[in-house]
Amino acid sequence: MNAASVVVARPSNASQLILLFHGVGSSAANLVPLGRHIANAIPNAIVVSVDGPHPSSMGGGREWFSVAGVTEENRPARVAQALPAFVAQVEQWQAETGLGPPQTSLVGFSQGAIMSLESTQANVLAQCVVAVAGRFAQPPRLAPQGVKFRFVHGDLDGVISPHFSQEAAERLRSLGSDGYAQIVPDLGHGIDARAAQGVVEALA
């Protein structure tokens, strides 16, 4: 596990594990405020903000995969290459806490959301995935049984269009999954109080 990951809450009677994954050029510390909001609302959850494995190619912070020269065509391959390390981090926290996929939720922002969403196409790591200002690297190909998908996205996001969240939720429903997108008015590529509350409601 990355030493820079932050354990936001670790109650002795924990029955849930909630893992947070930041965006490119950011770090685990940046999602601690969201983690605290979640921990206050869900007191029986271990909440961990996980640090990305690589220094960011953007000049600061960390990343899950490089976005230098990224395109719609090469993004899926980059995500696929990064997935084993991502899966390993999730499984390490599950092993340490004794809480498995049925008790685990993944919350990702931007690139962290891409990794969380794409992990569902090859592994069942969690019973709930909440993507904030994120997207699939490519449209979802399957809907894993028992996994709930929630998308929270600002309607003014100029980095990742909210249409990706809306289309993914619709596609997942067509595949037989539980998918829903909440579009937050007048919000760009970020997390405000309304988006944070949407995350909590998705996890509840």
What pLDDT score does 181 carry? 98
CA distance 150 to 131: 6
- What residue segments make up the domains of the chain, in order of their start? 6-203
Query: pLDDT tens digit string along 113-142?
Result: 999 999 999 889 999 999 999 999 999 999
Helix 193-203 vs helix 32-41: crossing angle, to nearest 10: 50
**Contact (Cβ atoms closer than 8 angstroms) between residue 199 and residue 107:** yes
**pLDDT bracket for residue 8 (50, 70, 90):** very high
3-state secondary structure the chain: CCCCCEEEECCCCCCEEEEEECCCCECHHHHHHHHHHHHHHCCCEEEEEECCCEECCCCCCEECCCCCCCCCCCHHHHHHHHHHHHHHHHHHHHHHHCCCHHHEEEEEECHHHHHHHHHCCCCCCCCEEEEECCCCCCCCCCCCCCCEEEEEEECCCCCCCHHHHHHHHHHHHHCCCEEEEEEECCCCCCCCHHHHHHHHHHHC
**pLDDT bracket for residue 31 (50, 70, 90):** very high
- Beta pairing, strands 62-63 & 54-55: antiparallel
CA dihedral defined by 123, 70, 171, 157, rounded to 10 degrees? 120
Query: pLDDT tens digit string along 60-93?
Result: 899 999 888 888 999 999 999 999 999 999 999 9
CATH 3.40.50.80 fits 6-203, yes or no: no
Estimate to the nearest angstrom the gap between the alpha carbon of 94 and the chain centroid: 16
Residue 21, C-beta contacts closer than 8 angstroms, at least 6 positions apart: 31, 50, 52, 64, 86, 106, 107, 108, 109, 111, 112, 113, 115, 116
Query: pLDDT tens digit string along 144-157?
Result: 989 999 999 999 99
Cite the active site residues: 110, 157, 189
